[in-house]
Structure formats: structure tokens, C-alpha cells
Amino acid sequence: MKKRIFTLEDDGFVGAYYGGPSESKKALILMLGDSSTDYMARCGADWVKEKGIHALCMSADKKDYGHHNYPLERFEKAISFLKSQGMEKIGIVGASTTGMLALVAASYYPEISLTIALSPSDFVMEGFYQDGKDGMEERPGDNESSVSYKGEPLPYLPYAYRHPEYWLKIKEESKESGNKIASRKMFDESERLHPIQEEEKIKVERIKGKIVFIGAEDDALWDTCRYIRRMEKLLSQKEHDSVYEALLYEHGTHFVFPQSMLKKMLPVGSSLLVGLMFDAGKRYARECRETRIDIDRHLDAILKVW
């Protein structure tokens, strides 16, 4: 099947199907970039197709990385489409905010048998916008979750700050830390002011199949390794029907992409970009690259077995 674009109005979700090898019965839902058709998404789709897997990219809107009351039912529509194409195995991949979203989606839809979460949180985040209001690049929603189900927002961890202080604090932390963007202190403060409640945690124990958590200790956006360890602990204490693996690294920044995928996005200067974005990527360029190479090796083996 040729590339197909999905719209909210006609299909119930925003996405782009890039296809894959005709003999393959496996598909990955990818959530990368601001849009399901932008350069980052297309490179991710190419990477998946080279693994012998069909690629379906999804995004919040045509071009919008903001997430506010994102309906989980959109994944149901996407899964139904993939099944209609004869897919027998369906997985999901998300990074950063969509790493969280991938885990939440997999906890609701047992058809997902492989969940790969890069730099995720273990809780549902408050909703946020990237609409430039009052000159701020990002702002929290007004009592909105990042995710909804059946018209109801999921319980979430509220941010420590409101608009416009939210973005001003991120700018301040970014400047002080030498990162293009940093919000780790804000997330720590959010959790200090509002200790995470049980209902706000992602129900990872409901996920089926294989779960792969990936994170680095030097993540400047949030303490993803702490979050991943909490999910590991939760899984060790509760009954679950999954096999999980945590790939945790000292260096790797927020961009814990497999090296071969990042090289598709940036054939020249991939390490340079990571260094421009994150101070740790500049100071530990070699270690970060080794991390991405190791992630590449692990994911290649996992996808072959899946």
C-alpha cells in the first residue's frame, strides 16, 4: 500500500502510513517530531521499514507538539487500520512526552505487544500548549491533562508553575545549565509540591508483551532514570503479563535515539546537534555516541525477536 495521510476529520486520528515490506505482518506506531509528515517522522519511518516493519506515524495535529487532552481513542482507530492491512503484531514507539504517551496507550490497548519508551515519565503529565501565547514558546493548559479517555482527562501531575512563569522558569534553568532547553528542576519542584498520587501513575502493569524503557542520567528535561526505576519497582511488586527491559546510561542526554536513526535525521553532524542542544552532549560527546550505538544494538536484537 502506498503512503496514506490520515486526518482527524476523515479518520479519527492525525497520522501518515508509510508502509513496509509486503511480506511483513508487523507494524510500529511512531510518535516523533511535531508532525507525522515532517522530516523527523519520515526518517523514523525509513528506519522502521529497513527493519522489515511497517511504519505508521501519529501526531497531535498537522504540526503541533503540544499535548492537551489527547484522546487515547485515536490509537484505537490507528490499531484498527493496521489490523485491516493484515498486521498481526503492533508495537509503539515514543520519545520524551510521547514516550509517556506510548506507555499510556499500551496500558489501554492490549493489541500492542511491543512498547519502546525513550526518556519517558512514569506519570501522566499535565497538558501543555506550544502556541506562542504572550511570547512564551510553551505554556501549561488550564486544568487540562495531556491525555484523555472517553472524553475525560486522565489524572495528572500538575506543573509547579502557571503561565507565564512556567516558560520563564524553563528559560532561566536552560540558561543556568548551559542547555538549549532544561526543565528538570521544574519537574522536581512539581513533584515536591504535589507528591505523585496513585491515580496519576501510568499503569505499566497492564501493558502486554515487551516493554523497553530507555533513559540517561544526564537528561536535562526530567529525571527519567528515576522514573524508569520506579516503574521497574512497580512491575516487580505487581502481577503483570509483560517482559520488561531497562536500558539506563550515565550519558546520553534527552536524545536517547538509536545512532542509525539519528544518522538518518542528520547524516552529518548528529553528535554536533546533540552538543548544541545539551551541555552533556558537548562535554561527553563520545560517551553519548557510544550510548546511542548500544541502544541501536539492543533495539535491533529486540525487533528481530519480536
- Which triple of cell numbers denotes residue 55? 511504519
Widest pairwise Cα distance in the chain = 52
Q: Are 100 and 125 in contact (CB under 8 A)?
A: yes
Report the C-alpha gap between 132 and 304 in whole angstroms.
42
Within a domain: residue 173?
no
Within a domain: residue 92?
yes
| pLDDT of res. 62 | 67
Within a domain: residue 169?
no
16: amino acid identity, one letter: A
Within a domain: residue 222?
yes
Within a domain: residue 278?
yes
Within a domain: residue 263?
yes
Within a domain: residue 177?
no
Within a domain: residue 287?
yes
Q: What CA–CA distances, in Å, run from 158 to 19, 219, 238?
A: 38, 20, 26
What's 16's domain CATH number? 3.40.50.1820
Q: Is 49 left (phi over 0), alpha (psi -120 to 50) or beta?
A: alpha
Give the count of domains, the chain: 1
From 137, 219, 133, select the one nearest 171 (Cα to Cα): 137
Each residue's pLDDT expressed in tens, for the chain with a length of 306 residues? 678 999 999 999 999 999 999 999 999 999 987 889 999 999 999 999 999 999 999 998 766 666 889 999 999 999 999 999 999 999 999 999 999 999 999 999 999 999 999 999 999 999 999 999 999 999 999 889 999 999 999 999 999 999 999 999 999 999 999 999 999 999 999 999 999 999 999 999 999 999 999 999 999 999 999 999 999 999 999 999 999 999 999 999 999 999 999 999 876 567 777 988 999 999 999 999 999 999 999 999 999 999
For every residue of 82-106, DSSP letters joined together read HHHTT-SEEEEEEETHHHHHHHHHH
| pLDDT of res. 127 | 96
Task: Write out the residue range of the structural domain in which residue 97 sits.
Answer: 4-154+201-305
| pLDDT of res. 64 | 61
From 77, 55, 67, select the one nearest 100 (Cα to Cα): 67
